[in-house]
Amino acid sequence: MSELASGNADKSERALRIGLVSISDRASAGVYQDMGLPALQEWFGAALSSAWIMETRLIPDERAAIEAALIDLVDKALCDLVITTGGTGPARRDVTPEATLAVATKEMPGFGEQMRQISLKFVPTAILSRQVAVIRESAEHAALIMNLPGQPKSIKETLEGLKDANGVQLVAGIFSAVPYCIDLIGGPYVETHDAVCKVFRPKSALRPKAEN
Protein backbone atom coordinates (compact mmCIF):
# COMPACT_ATOMS: atom_id res chain seq x y z
CA MET A 1 0.00 0.00 0.00
CA SER A 2 1.40 3.39 -0.93
CA GLU A 3 1.42 6.17 1.67
CA LEU A 4 0.34 9.59 0.42
CA ALA A 5 1.08 11.53 3.59
CA SER A 6 4.47 12.72 4.79
CA GLY A 7 5.06 9.81 7.16
CA ASN A 8 5.06 12.09 10.21
CA ALA A 9 5.07 10.17 13.49
CA ASP A 10 2.03 12.19 14.59
CA LYS A 11 -0.93 10.01 13.58
CA SER A 12 -3.12 13.08 13.06
CA GLU A 13 -0.87 14.23 10.18
CA ARG A 14 -0.93 11.09 8.03
CA ALA A 15 -3.35 10.12 5.27
CA LEU A 16 -6.71 8.63 6.17
CA ARG A 17 -6.76 4.91 5.43
CA ILE A 18 -10.15 3.76 4.14
CA GLY A 19 -11.23 0.16 3.60
CA LEU A 20 -14.18 -0.35 1.23
CA VAL A 21 -16.02 -3.67 1.22
CA SER A 22 -18.76 -4.50 -1.28
CA ILE A 23 -20.79 -7.54 -0.27
CA SER A 24 -22.69 -9.33 -3.02
CA ASP A 25 -22.93 -12.97 -4.06
CA ARG A 26 -23.58 -12.17 -7.72
CA ALA A 27 -21.12 -9.30 -8.12
CA SER A 28 -18.32 -11.24 -6.43
CA ALA A 29 -19.05 -14.17 -8.78
CA GLY A 30 -18.89 -11.90 -11.84
CA VAL A 31 -22.59 -12.24 -12.69
CA TYR A 32 -22.92 -8.45 -12.85
CA GLN A 33 -20.67 -5.45 -12.27
CA ASP A 34 -20.36 -4.21 -8.73
CA MET A 35 -21.73 -0.68 -8.26
CA GLY A 36 -20.96 -0.12 -4.58
CA LEU A 37 -17.18 0.26 -4.74
CA PRO A 38 -17.18 2.73 -7.69
CA ALA A 39 -19.89 4.81 -5.97
CA LEU A 40 -17.89 5.00 -2.74
CA GLN A 41 -14.64 5.79 -4.54
CA GLU A 42 -16.33 8.57 -6.50
CA TRP A 43 -17.91 10.05 -3.38
CA PHE A 44 -14.71 10.10 -1.35
CA GLY A 45 -12.84 11.56 -4.32
CA ALA A 46 -15.29 14.47 -4.40
CA ALA A 47 -15.73 14.89 -0.64
CA LEU A 48 -12.28 14.66 0.94
CA SER A 49 -9.83 17.57 0.76
CA SER A 50 -7.19 15.97 3.00
CA ALA A 51 -4.95 13.06 1.99
CA TRP A 52 -6.45 9.57 1.85
CA ILE A 53 -5.69 6.10 0.55
CA MET A 54 -7.91 3.07 0.20
CA GLU A 55 -8.10 -0.68 -0.01
CA THR A 56 -11.07 -2.47 -1.57
CA ARG A 57 -12.64 -5.89 -1.20
CA LEU A 58 -15.45 -7.54 -3.22
CA ILE A 59 -16.78 -10.56 -1.36
CA PRO A 60 -19.90 -12.80 -1.21
CA ASP A 61 -22.65 -12.68 1.42
CA GLU A 62 -20.84 -15.09 3.72
CA ARG A 63 -20.52 -14.14 7.37
CA ALA A 64 -17.08 -15.72 7.79
CA ALA A 65 -15.76 -13.92 4.70
CA ILE A 66 -17.15 -10.58 5.88
CA GLU A 67 -15.66 -10.95 9.35
CA ALA A 68 -12.29 -11.94 7.88
CA ALA A 69 -12.27 -8.92 5.53
CA LEU A 70 -13.13 -6.49 8.33
CA ILE A 71 -10.49 -7.92 10.66
CA ASP A 72 -7.86 -7.84 7.91
CA LEU A 73 -8.61 -4.24 6.95
CA VAL A 74 -8.46 -3.00 10.54
CA ASP A 75 -5.78 -5.18 12.14
CA LYS A 76 -3.39 -5.68 9.21
CA ALA A 77 -4.06 -2.87 6.73
CA LEU A 78 -4.56 -0.45 9.66
CA CYS A 79 -7.55 1.29 8.10
CA ASP A 80 -9.05 4.11 10.17
CA LEU A 81 -12.45 3.84 8.49
CA VAL A 82 -14.03 0.74 6.98
CA ILE A 83 -17.27 0.99 5.02
CA THR A 84 -19.34 -1.93 3.82
CA THR A 85 -22.07 -1.78 1.22
CA GLY A 86 -24.76 -4.42 0.79
CA GLY A 87 -26.17 -7.28 2.83
CA THR A 88 -28.10 -5.26 5.43
CA GLY A 89 -31.70 -6.24 4.68
CA PRO A 90 -33.95 -8.91 6.25
CA ALA A 91 -33.23 -11.66 3.72
CA ARG A 92 -31.57 -14.85 4.94
CA ARG A 93 -28.38 -14.09 3.02
CA ASP A 94 -28.11 -10.59 4.54
CA VAL A 95 -25.59 -11.07 7.35
CA THR A 96 -23.42 -7.94 7.17
CA PRO A 97 -24.67 -6.44 10.48
CA GLU A 98 -24.09 -9.72 12.32
CA ALA A 99 -20.55 -9.99 10.95
CA THR A 100 -19.85 -6.36 11.84
CA LEU A 101 -21.07 -6.74 15.42
CA ALA A 102 -19.03 -9.93 15.79
CA VAL A 103 -15.74 -8.07 15.25
CA ALA A 104 -16.70 -5.00 17.30
CA THR A 105 -15.35 -3.61 20.54
CA LYS A 106 -18.03 -0.91 20.87
CA GLU A 107 -21.33 -0.20 19.14
CA MET A 108 -22.11 3.26 17.72
CA PRO A 109 -25.91 3.10 17.37
CA GLY A 110 -26.41 6.73 16.38
CA PHE A 111 -25.05 6.12 12.89
CA GLY A 112 -27.58 3.40 12.08
CA GLU A 113 -30.41 5.48 13.51
CA GLN A 114 -29.46 8.47 11.35
CA MET A 115 -29.06 6.35 8.21
CA ARG A 116 -32.61 5.08 8.55
CA GLN A 117 -33.94 8.57 9.25
CA ILE A 118 -32.34 9.85 6.04
CA SER A 119 -33.59 6.93 3.94
CA LEU A 120 -37.11 7.24 5.33
CA LYS A 121 -37.33 10.63 3.63
CA PHE A 122 -37.28 8.72 0.34
CA VAL A 123 -38.77 5.26 0.88
CA PRO A 124 -40.91 3.70 3.66
CA THR A 125 -39.00 0.42 3.31
CA ALA A 126 -36.00 2.09 4.96
CA ILE A 127 -37.29 0.60 8.22
CA LEU A 128 -36.21 -2.80 6.86
CA SER A 129 -32.55 -1.80 6.79
CA ARG A 130 -30.33 -3.05 9.61
CA GLN A 131 -27.15 -1.01 9.14
CA VAL A 132 -24.91 -0.73 12.17
CA ALA A 133 -21.68 1.07 13.01
CA VAL A 134 -19.04 -0.06 15.46
CA ILE A 135 -15.52 0.60 16.72
CA ARG A 136 -12.92 -2.15 16.52
CA GLU A 137 -9.88 -1.42 18.66
CA SER A 138 -6.69 -2.99 19.92
CA ALA A 139 -3.89 -1.68 22.10
CA GLU A 140 -2.26 -0.03 19.07
CA HIS A 141 -5.04 0.85 16.64
CA ALA A 142 -8.76 1.59 16.33
CA ALA A 143 -11.16 1.98 13.42
CA LEU A 144 -14.74 2.98 12.75
CA ILE A 145 -16.70 0.39 10.73
CA MET A 146 -20.01 1.39 9.13
CA ASN A 147 -22.58 -0.51 7.05
CA LEU A 148 -24.05 1.43 4.12
CA PRO A 149 -26.85 0.58 1.68
CA GLY A 150 -26.03 -1.15 -1.60
CA GLN A 151 -27.43 1.34 -4.15
CA PRO A 152 -25.17 4.21 -5.33
CA LYS A 153 -27.95 6.80 -4.92
CA SER A 154 -28.63 5.65 -1.36
CA ILE A 155 -24.92 5.63 -0.54
CA LYS A 156 -24.61 9.28 -1.57
CA GLU A 157 -27.77 10.33 0.29
CA THR A 158 -26.69 8.52 3.45
CA LEU A 159 -23.23 10.10 3.49
CA GLU A 160 -24.28 13.62 2.47
CA GLY A 161 -27.77 13.91 3.96
CA LEU A 162 -30.54 16.03 2.45
CA LYS A 163 -30.19 19.49 0.89
CA ASP A 164 -32.73 21.83 -0.65
CA ALA A 165 -32.52 23.27 -4.17
CA ASN A 166 -30.18 26.01 -2.91
CA GLY A 167 -27.81 23.57 -1.26
CA VAL A 168 -28.95 24.32 2.27
CA GLN A 169 -28.60 21.29 4.55
CA LEU A 170 -31.98 19.97 5.71
CA VAL A 171 -30.86 16.71 7.32
CA ALA A 172 -27.23 16.00 8.19
CA GLY A 173 -25.56 13.04 6.53
CA ILE A 174 -23.66 10.59 8.66
CA PHE A 175 -20.24 11.57 7.32
CA SER A 176 -20.46 15.00 8.97
CA ALA A 177 -19.76 13.24 12.28
CA VAL A 178 -17.18 10.74 11.02
CA PRO A 179 -14.01 12.91 11.09
CA TYR A 180 -14.51 13.88 14.74
CA CYS A 181 -15.16 10.24 15.61
CA ILE A 182 -11.86 9.35 13.94
CA ASP A 183 -10.16 12.13 15.95
CA LEU A 184 -11.46 10.60 19.16
CA ILE A 185 -10.17 7.11 18.39
CA GLY A 186 -6.69 8.34 17.50
CA GLY A 187 -6.86 8.61 13.72
CA PRO A 188 -5.75 11.36 11.32
CA TYR A 189 -7.37 14.77 11.05
CA VAL A 190 -9.81 14.55 8.14
CA GLU A 191 -11.05 17.55 6.16
CA THR A 192 -13.73 17.76 3.48
CA HIS A 193 -15.03 20.08 0.78
CA ASP A 194 -17.91 21.87 2.50
CA ALA A 195 -20.01 21.97 -0.67
CA VAL A 196 -20.18 18.17 -0.61
CA CYS A 197 -20.25 17.46 3.12
CA LYS A 198 -19.47 19.91 5.91
CA VAL A 199 -17.75 18.34 8.90
CA PHE A 200 -18.88 19.19 12.42
CA ARG A 201 -16.37 19.42 15.25
CA PRO A 202 -16.57 21.22 18.60
CA LYS A 203 -14.66 24.51 18.55
CA SER A 204 -11.98 23.05 20.81
CA ALA A 205 -11.21 20.38 18.20
CA LEU A 206 -10.99 22.65 15.14
CA ARG A 207 -7.78 23.42 13.27
CA PRO A 208 -7.19 26.13 10.66
CA LYS A 209 -8.48 25.04 7.27
CA ALA A 210 -5.70 23.61 5.13
CA GLU A 211 -4.71 25.56 2.02
CA ASN A 212 -5.45 23.73 -1.27
DSSP 131-191: --EEEEE-SS-EEEEEEE-SSHHHHHHHHHEEE-TT--EEEE-GGGGHHHHHHHTT-----
Assigned domain for 88 exists: yes
Assigned domain for 97 exists: yes
Exposure b/e, 174-199, CB count within 10 A at least 16 = b: bbbbbbbbbbebebbbbbbeeebbeb
Distance CA 68, CA 64 (A): 6
Assigned domain for 161 exists: yes
Does an H or E element contain 55, and which? strand 52-59
pLDDT for the residue numbered 150: 86
CATH code assigned at 192: 3.40.980.10
Domain that holds residue 26: 14-205
Distance CA 52, CA 66 (A): 23
Assigned domain for 83 exists: yes
Exposure b/e, 23-42, CB count within 10 A at least 16 = b: bbeebbeeeeebbbbebbee
Assigned domain for 5 exists: no
Give the total number of structural domains in the chain: 1
Assigned domain for 1 exists: no
pLDDT for the residue numbered 10: 59
pTM for this prediction: 0.91
pLDDT tens for the chain, 212 residues long, are 333 333 334 566 899 999 999 998 877 877 778 889 999 999 999 999 999 999 999 999 999 999 999 999 999 999 999 999 999 999 999 999 999 999 999 999 999 999 999 999 889 999 999 999 999 999 899 999 999 998 899 999 999 998 888 878 888 899 999 999 999 999 999 999 999 999 999 999 999 876 65
Distance CA 200, CA 184 (A): 13
Assigned domain for 193 exists: yes
pLDDT for the residue numbered 6: 33
